Amino acid sequence: MFVVQTRFHHRLPDRIKAHVLLCWLGLLLIRVAETESGQSWDQMRDTLEEISLVKLRGKDGRVQMVTDLTGEQRKTLKMLMVKQPKRMRQIAENA
């Protein structure tokens, strides 16, 4: 598991309050997701982080595609009531 640790140094009271509020909202979002799905945050993250946006470019143009979803990814998104991403995101022909 990859963990990013960052340190923020806020001095202004409004920024400190905003930072604490954002952290609290993030924790709340995690707890709601865990409750709705019946899975731990680590399980959901491990399942969903494998979804990737692939950018392909060739002589005829370029395209952005989302990788095929696994059954477990579809199940997790459905439990969270999140729509599956569109397979084709962007298509552009070379001029």
Are 4 and 45 spatial neighbours (Cβ–Cβ below 8 Å)? no
What are the structure tokens assigned to 77, written together?
Answer: 């998104």
User: Residue 41 region, left (φ>0) first, then alpha (ψ -120 to 50), else beta?
Assistant: alpha
Element (H, E) at 43: helix 41-48
**Of 56, 50, 43, 93, nearest in space to 68 by CA:** 50
Q: Where does the pLDDT of residue 59 fall: very low under 50, low under 70, confident under 90, or very high at 90 and above?
A: confident
Please tell me the pTM assigned to this model: 0.67
pLDDT in tens, 3-49: 556 666 777 888 889 989 999 999 999 999 999 889 999 999 999 99
